[in-house]
Amino acid sequence: MSRSRHTTKAPSQRQLRAGELIRHELAQILQREEVHDDSLFGLNVTVTEVQASPDLRNATVYVTTLGGQETDDAVRRLSVASAKIRRVLAPKLAMKFIPDLHFKRDASFDTADRIDQLLRQGR
């Protein structure tokens, strides 16, 4: 029997630990504006989750904006500056390889708001 490549396997403890470490450090870097890139100046984002790949070479970073900023624009700006962010992140992590960062919009808050609105309408 061959295994399907599309199995949904839960992340390992190692992936979860690495993701949380990266999330914590990224949040501090973005809050303190340690990345010297004009496109990131004044960007108010929250890093909600980081999912590391099994080999820890890639990490998907889910972000949402604060203060009514456009989330898609923030994701684009972060993606453009991902190499600079990675260089600032590298000395803060005790990892053999620093993962490539892939930024995505976290839609979970929008979904939660939509569900909340639907529940209020049903009353």
| CA separation for the pair 95, 106 (Å, rounded) | 26
Secondary structure letter of residue 64 according to DSSP: E
- Which domains occur in the chain, in start order? 13-121 (3.30.300.20)
* pLDDT tens digits, one per residue of 79-107: 999 999 999 999 999 888 999 999 999 88
> Which candidate, 15, 33, 34, places its Cα nearest to that of 91?
34
| pTM score, whole prediction | 0.82
Name residue 45's beta-bridge partners: 65
